[in-house]
Amino acid sequence: MIGRVALGATLVLLTVSACGSTDSASEDTLTVFAAASLKNVFTGLEPEFEAANPGVDVRFSFAGSSDLAAQLLAGAPADVFAAADQPTMDKVVQGGRITAAPATFATNVLTLITAPGNPKGITGIEDLADATVVVCAPQVPCGRATQKVVQAAGTELRPASEESSVADVLTKVTSGQADAGLVYVTDATGAGSKVSTVPIPQASAAVNTYPIAVVADSEHPAAAKFTEFITGPAGRKALVAAGFGAP
């Protein structure tokens, strides 16, 4: 009798275990590589996308676009790539990891940020000579934009550091390690009261366009659905609210 009870319990456990394995296996994990400046918008949209696509679990990897592109070209597995500028996306296309035509879904421009209250009284690019300023590295989209903005201002910058992503520039300013930094308008908006913003007229000289595309070897049908979601009404509404411009 005891043997039968034990056998029955074992069968129940095996059945429960098998059911659990089936549920886990049916979940579609979607890996999205996205520029650091998209973090707030994309993570905010995640619940809505997953609710509309039951069984899909979105996993994000946020970093500087150039770093993400390098990972993709080195063979890193991913399903979707959203870059902060077209040249970075072009490199991935040329490397064969993306074969479909990328879709432009947003634009962004730079602005100056300082500590709250702007204690140094910075009014524009020309006031940065006597300030500790941080910028993005030249190989990063926000770094390329920074170079164009500085050239348009007819001046030179001697940054204290060059960061690998716009998020790192923001952190240096909010943590008090720098007096000022050049970041995207969207990052300044997202930082709220942690920074003061100084609009710069030269920003129009460097408008970044954001492309998104499905990675060529992705095996997830939800990858195309995600790009359609970002370029569709829900994505557009969230992007505009965050300060991004229309493509």
Tell me how far apart the alpha carbons of residues 150 and 153 are, in angstroms, rounded to a whole number: 5
For residue 66, say whether it is annotated as part of any ligand binding site: no
3-state SS assignment for residue 192: helix
CA angle (104 as vertex; 203, 182 as ends), nearest 5? 25
> Which of these, 114, 84, 98, lies nearest to 209 by C-alpha position?
84
For residue 37, say whether it is annotated as part of any ligand binding site: yes
For residue 166, say whether it is annotated as part of any ligand binding site: yes
- Complete DSSP assignment for 94-111: HTTS--SPPEEEEEE-EE
State the number of CA atoms in the 13 A half-sphere of 207 facing the CB: 10
For residue 210, say whether it is annotated as part of any ligand binding site: no
The tokens 């098998």 sit on which residue? Answer: 18
Annotated binding-site positions: 37, 65, 166, 184
Annotated binding-site positions for molybdate: 37, 65, 166, 184
